[in-house]
Amino acid sequence: MTRFADFAALGRRLERARGRLEKRDEVARFLKALAPDEIASAVAFLAGRAFPASDPRVLGVRGLPRESSRGPDERDAESRRDPGSPGGDERGGESRRGPGPPGRDERGGVWGAISGPPTLMAPPTLMDIAEAFADVAAATGAGARRARDERLARLASRVSADEREFLARIIGGEMRTGVSEGLLLEAIAAAWGVDVAAARRAALFLGDLTAVATLAAAGGAAAVAGASPRPFVPLLPMLAEIADDFPAVLAAHGGRTALEYKYDGARIQLHRAGDRVQVWTRRLSDVTRSLPDVVEIARRDLSGEPFILDGEVVALDAAGRPLPFQELMRRFRRVHGVEALVREMPLALHFFDCLMAGGRSLIDAPYERRWEALTAVTGGRYLAERRIVTAEPEALAFRDAALAAGHEGVMAKELASTYEPGGRGKRWFKLKAVETVDCVIVAVDRGSGRRQGWLSNYHLAVRDGETFAEVGKTFKGFTDAQFVEMTERLWKLATADDGYTVRVRPEVVVEVEYNEIQKSPTYRSGLALRFARIARVREDKAPGQATTLEELRHLYERQFHTKGRASGVV
């Protein structure tokens, strides 16, 4: 069996490795040498997860502070160097980084117990760590939090300081070895001789890199190439590009396109086989318990199972008008007292795609064929408003009708397009009345004046490959209550604090309105959002679904269709 010390040693090698190929090969060699029952846990750990992505279990503890993840000799030495640091002598004061949030403790509670030397028990294996994580996640009821902390403390007491560092990183969800999920996928493919494109496609269908690795180890390239969608394994949703105008859409789609209302709701994916029904968000979070009315419709009114449908839910007021997105999020968060909220806030269902019907995958079928299957499954009910158009005037009329009904705009879909999970391209376009971009909060400044005590000036970033590039800051758009809520949320994601700016893990996605996009020498991205304002928090979007830097550059250039360009500006 593989020792956890071997995993920690791999982590150190990955930190030293200089190039992408070297990292890939290190991971591939490690995976290839594992026993079959170790593969899933190893892949999850490499991705910075205690459990596979498809596993709903959570540890339910705060990330292990770095202070507690080092050996006692290291901490004692640092305390001598800086008596003002946490863990320094009695003459030391507050950390140089300034005060943290109320109740936030650098070493906190039971974590102080895990910083000593390892016990005399046998060094833990990978599977020992996996089983210990399962034991921690199983703690429930009164006193569960302390029980989890104590179980982790016992686990950490068995490992060396070096192993403890990587244990802390897994618990904190951030490995910091330079191995992204994309690189991990390439390593899985290299380990078992699988084509990378086939592995990537299988990952979309299986929803989890651990499943791809397990399949590759058991069946090789043929098994991975044969992967297909399965009921109750959610797929990443297909995404759309922003379109300039209807003539551009019609040109891209060969003069004929399918327009659908773009609803101001939340994307859902509905799976049914027999009486079993499950519902996921676009972030692949299971919200079945929060949407019993959707489950009832799936069982009562839909046929042709097993099926997988893609659609949108919209919250309605008493008059049947769509409610704001933030109101809808109340439904998604509620797991207790759901029935009362169902009566207070009914939902309208709007399906627009069918990925499986009668147990057969339709991923590679053209859009028109998938719409036919969708119509059969739904009996023509609960469908998105749709019209096939060939000219701009009829497209504009359809868009105006969508806006008049209180919706965001329209989608335009190529009739021959296949469904590409997680893909974004010119086969699907979106045209909205108000331009927005989806940004990730990567840092936040401490507030001053009436915002004293809050984290309230948000650093906004777009996706740039596997990293994020900042494009502006804003404190506009939130109410006081939202500032308080976001402050608490961001402190839990904090990774560094210089006393003014707090860096956070890039997990919170916000929809941002802006006046225009400008060239900027300040940001590495080269662009900045002028008069940025947060329109809403996108709880339904993952960081990987944020606007890309390439898309922002396209939007910047598009501005000059209606504006002049200053001489010398490129």
* pLDDT number for residue 115: 52
**What pLDDT sits at residue 47?**
95
The pLDDT of residue 464 = 94
Q: How far apart are CA 329 and CA 334, in angstroms?
A: 9
User: What torsion do the CA atoms of 375, 376, 378, 382 make, to the nearest 10 degrees?
Assistant: 10
Question: Is pLDDT of 336 > 80?
Answer: no
Mean pLDDT across 69-78: 40
- 439 contact partners, CB below 8 Å, separation of at least 6: 460, 461, 462, 471, 472, 509, 510, 512, 529, 546, 547
Query: In the predicted model, is pLDDT for residue 239 greater than 80?
Result: yes
CA-nearest of 272, 279, 299, 203 to 540 is 279
pLDDT score recorded for residue 79? 37
Burial of 534 (0-12, 13-18, 19+ CB in 10 A): buried
pLDDT number for residue 561: 60
Residue 356 is inside which H or E element, if any?
strand 347-357
Number of C-beta neighbours around residue 441 at 10 A: 25
Q: How many CB atoms lie within 10 A of CB 216?
A: 24
- Residue 73's pLDDT band, with cuts at 50, 70 and 90, is very low
**CATH class as words, domain 436-561:** mainly beta
Per-residue pLDDT at 276? 97
Range with the poorest average pLDDT among 71-85, 240-254, 318-332? 71-85
Mean pLDDT, range 84-113, rounded to an integer? 37
In the prediction, which pLDDT does 62 show? 62
Which residue type, as a one-letter code, is found at position 201? R
Angle at 55 between CA 271 and CA 32, to 5 degrees: 115
Residue type, 385: E
What does the pLDDT look like over 113-171, one tens digit per residue?
A: 445 555 557 889 999 999 999 999 999 888 888 888 888 888 888 999 999 999 999 99
Question: Considering the chain, what percentage of its residues have pLDDT values greater than 90?
Answer: 64
- Nearest by Cα to 411 from 426, 422, 421, 391: 426
CATH number of 4-172: 1.10.3260.10
Q: Give which of 471, 495, 481 is closest to 537, Cα–Cα.
A: 481
Give the bridge partners for 156, in sequence order.
none
Distance from C-alpha of 194 to C-alpha of 190, rounded to nearest angstrom:
6
**What number is the average pLDDT over the span 366-386?**
98
Give the sheet arrangement for strand 307-315, strand by strand.
276-281, 266-273, 307-315, 347-357, 360-361
Cβ-defined contacts of 19-27 (< 8 Å, 24+): 20/183, 23/177, 23/178, 23/179, 23/183, 23/187, 24/183, 24/186, 24/187, 24/190, 25/187, 25/190, 27/179, 27/183, 27/184, 27/187, 27/191
Q: What's the count of helices (H) and strands (E) in the chain, helices before strands?
A: 18, 19
Residues 310, 353: contact at Cβ < 8 Å?
yes
Average pLDDT in the 529-536 region? 91
Which residues have a catalytic role annotated? 262
| 118-122, 401-405, 534-538, range with the lowest pLDDT | 118-122
Query: Does position 388 have pLDDT exceeding 90, yes or no?
Result: yes
Q: Are strands 527-530 and 436-446 parallel, antiparallel or unpaired?
A: unpaired
503 CB-near residues (< 8 Å, 6+ apart): 442, 443, 494, 495, 496, 497
Q: Are 28 and 148 in contact (CB under 8 A)?
A: no
Domain boundaries, the chain: 4-172, 239-432, 436-561
CA angle 30, 36, 40 (to 5 degrees): 75
- How many other β-carbons are positioned within 10 Å of the β-carbon of residue 6? 18
State how far Cα 116 lies from the chain centre.
35
Q: What does the mean pLDDT of the chain come to?
A: 86
Residue 106 has what pLDDT?
Answer: 37
Work out the angle at residue 510's Cα, subtended by the Cα atoms of residues 505 and 513, and round it to the nearest 5 degrees: 140
Nearest CA to 273 out of 355, 208, 358 is that of 358
Weakest mean pLDDT among 45-54, 172-181, 347-356, 554-563:
554-563
pLDDT of 116: 53
Confidence (pLDDT) at 226:
93
Pull the structure tokens for residue 506.
């890039």
* Contact status, residue 513 vs residue 532, Cβ threshold 8 Å: yes
Amino acid letter, 155: L
Instruction: Kindly report the backbone phi and psi dihedral angles of residue 452, in degrees, each rounded to the nearest multiple of 5, phi listed first.
Output: -55, 135
Q: Which two tokens stand for residue 249?
A: 């859409």
Rounded to whole angstroms, how far apart are CA atoms 199 and 204? 9
Give the pLDDT confidence score for residue 94 in this predicted structure.
Answer: 32
Q: Which of 92-101, 128-137, 204-213 shows the lowest per-residue confidence on average (mean pLDDT)?
A: 92-101
- Distance from first CA to last CA of the chain, Å, rounded? 59
Angle between helix 39-46 and helix 181-191 axes, rounded to 10 deg:
150
DSSP notation for 518-542: EE-SSSTTSEEEET-EEEEE-TT--
| Beta carbons of 263 and 409 less than 8 angstroms apart | no
CA distance 318 to 124: 59
Pairwise pLDDT comparison (385 vs 320), residue with the higher score = 385
Contact status, residue 407 vs residue 264, Cβ threshold 8 Å: yes
Distance between CA atoms of residues 482 and 97, nearest Å: 25
Residue appearing with tokens 């010119």: 426
Strands 257-262, 276-281: pairing is unpaired
What percentage of the chain exceeds 70 in pLDDT?
Answer: 88
Higher pLDDT, residue 452 or 563 = 452
pLDDT at 453: 87
Q: How far is CA 200 from the centre of its chain?
A: 17
CA-nearest of 75, 63, 2 to 34 is 2
Would the pLDDT of 96 be above 50? no
pLDDT of residue 119: 55
Stretch 510-539: mean pLDDT: 91
Angle at 484 between CA 480 and CA 486, to 5 degrees: 110
| CATH code, 239-432 | 3.30.470.30
Whether the per-residue pLDDT at 32 is higher than 90: the answer is yes
Residue 384 clears pLDDT 90, i.e. is over it: yes
Task: State residue 559's pLDDT score.
Answer: 73
User: What are the backbone dihedrals phi and psi of residue 11, each rounded to the nearest 5 degrees, phi first?
Assistant: -60, -40
